[in-house]
């Protein structure tokens, strides 16, 4: 058996793109034979997964899970919408969402390192890449736990938008209504006191310049700006928004004294670069 040195592990890693621990394990299994270790990693799908790392995973789904006291939303991306609708992919996303509720990881590192069915979540994702044949990315999650509140989740358009919200009370119907509102109206914060002051100052300055450009007298510009800022609050503050199911009411009206403690809204793929290649271009790229 050849000696398994750090240099040999590093060399195998550079050739295959697999992780250091995977490379070391492959060399141990293959008694230090580098060529056999390369085949071993390819057979396990680990090297195949690594080669997909440079691709763009901008499709996928947002999923939710809850046990009543803990709830989460999670976004997992794929390269294509076809895979995002694949039963195996959707089962994987559901399983990870339920795992997040069960283990309540503090952050993405903790989630990736957590054990699920005897493997780390990172290993499960790597194996899924090899099995499904596309780059997959466990992008982000939000998990809430409450002792005395009401948790609600809402998934819109089959996983295109996901919301999680915690209320101080109320029932499941109220929770769903508020979550649906967040999905539809995209509030930036709960109330006026939560508005980013820098963003507010910027908005005020923009509105002031607009009013002056419209030829309004300086003496009434500030009152006009105040009026438009109030409209701005109604757009970005959840409790001041018109209720999407009844425009005669605001969210504050339907809350009836219940407090919105926190919320998160994920829109699948937001902020990610979209892959934009036609089939002919992709074939040409592969030939080159």
Mean pLDDT of 243-259: 98
Q: What does the pLDDT read at residue 287?
A: 41
Query: What pairs with residue 263 in β-bridges?
Result: 165
Residue 282 has pLDDT above 50, yes or no: no
Q: What does the pLDDT read at residue 7?
A: 87
CATH superfamily of 59-190+260-280: Elongation factor Ts, dimerisation domain (3.30.479.20)
Residues 5/8/9/11 CA torsion (nearest 10 deg)? 160
CATH superfamily of 6-51: Ubiquitin-associated (UBA) domain (1.10.8.10)
pLDDT tens digit sequence for 129-175: 988 888 999 999 999 999 999 999 999 999 999 999 999 999 999 99
CB contact set of 283 (below 8 Å; sequence gap of 6+): none
> Do 211 and 192 touch, CB atoms closer than 8 A?
no
Q: What angle do CA 126, 123, 116 make, to 5 degrees?
A: 130
How far apart (Å, rounded) are the C-alpha atoms in residues 271 and 258? 33
Q: What does the pLDDT read at residue 277?
A: 47
2-11, 92-101, 226-235, 247-256 — which is least confidently predicted?
A: 2-11
Residue 179 has pLDDT above 70, yes or no: yes
Residue 52 has pLDDT above 80, yes or no: no
Residue 48 has pLDDT above 70, yes or no: no
Domain boundary assignment for the chain: 6-51, 59-190+260-280
């Amino acid at each position: 058996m050849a000696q398994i040195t750090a240099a040999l592990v590093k060399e195998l890693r550079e050739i295959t793109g697999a992780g250091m621990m995977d490379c070391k394990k492959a060399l141990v299994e293959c008694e230090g034979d580098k060529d056999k270790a390369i085949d071993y990693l390819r057979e396990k799908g680990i090297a195949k997964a690594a080669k997909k790392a440079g691709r763009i995973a901008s499709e996928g789904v947002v999923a939710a899970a809850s046990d009543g006291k803990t709830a989460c939303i999670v976004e997992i991306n794929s390269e294509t919408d076809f895979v995002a609708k694949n039963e195996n992919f959707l089962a994987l996303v559901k399983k990870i969402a339920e795992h997040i509720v069960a283990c309540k990881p503090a952050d993405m590192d903790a989630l990736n390192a957590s054990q699920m069915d005897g493997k780390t979540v990172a290993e499960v994702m790597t194996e899924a890449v090899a099995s499904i044949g596309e780059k997959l990315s466990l992008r982000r999650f939000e998990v809430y736990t409450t002792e005395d509140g009401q948790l609600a989740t809402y998934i819109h358009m089959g996983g295109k938008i996901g919301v999680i919200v915690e209320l101080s009370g109320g029932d499941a119907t109220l929770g769903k209504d508020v979550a649906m509102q967040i999905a539809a109206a995209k509030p930036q914060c709960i109330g006026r006191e939560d508005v980013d002051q820098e963003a507010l100052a910027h908005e005020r300055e923009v509105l002031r310049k607009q009013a002056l450009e419209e030829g309004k007298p300086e003496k009434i510009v500030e009152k006009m700006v105040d009026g438009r800022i109030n409209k701005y609050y109604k757009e970005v503050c959840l409790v001041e928004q018109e209720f999407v199911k009844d425009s005669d009411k605001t969210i504050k009206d339907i809350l009836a004294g219940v407090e919105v403690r926190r919320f998160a809204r994920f829109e699948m793929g937001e902020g990610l670069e979209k892959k934009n290649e036609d089939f002919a271009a992709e074939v040409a790229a592969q030939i080159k």
